[in-house]
């Protein structure tokens, strides 16, 4: 899937929704709960069961990154499935310390 900044995608396995903050350098297989994510507004069909290997969940308002491809997404709706690019689970992006005002 070729992603550009601002793309909104959702999980087919749970309620997770994300927006692309920084796209990958190349096409990626963005997944949630072990299943490919789809664009917002695409058909809703049956929800498959989340793969137990990808059941870590997502947190609202948190950023997730895939270092190998450069992909960064922001979770706009939390869910039970973990985000991944292929088999690689995305890492929760850490916060940056603010400079001291002393």
Give the whole-angstrom CA distance, residue 80 versus residue 5: 24
Q: Write out pLDDT tens, residues 27-60.
A: 999 999 999 999 988 876 678 999 989 998 999 9
Q: What is the pLDDT of residue 70?
A: 94
The per-residue pLDDT for 65 is: 97
Domain residue extents for the chain: 8-92
| pLDDT for the residue numbered 102 | 64
> What pLDDT does residue 25 have?
87
Over the stretch 77-88, which tens digit does the pLDDT of each residue have? Answer: 999 999 999 999
pTM of the model: 0.87
Percent of the chain whose pLDDT exceeds 70: 96
Are 32 and 58 within 8 A, CB to CB?
yes
């Amino acid at each position: 899937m070729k992603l550009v900044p601002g793309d909104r995608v959702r999980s087919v396995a749970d309620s997770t929704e994300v927006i692309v903050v920084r796209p990958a350098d190349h096409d990626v297989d963005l997944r949630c709960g072990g299943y490919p994510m789809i664009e917002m507004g695409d058909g809703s069909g049956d929800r498959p069961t989340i793969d137990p290997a990808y059941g870590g969940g997502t947190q609202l308002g948190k950023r997730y990154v895939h270092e190998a491809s450069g992909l960064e997404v922001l979770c706009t709706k939390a869910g039970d499935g973990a985000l991944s690019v292929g088999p690689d689970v995305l890492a929760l992006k850490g916060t940056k310390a603010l400079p001291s005002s002393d």
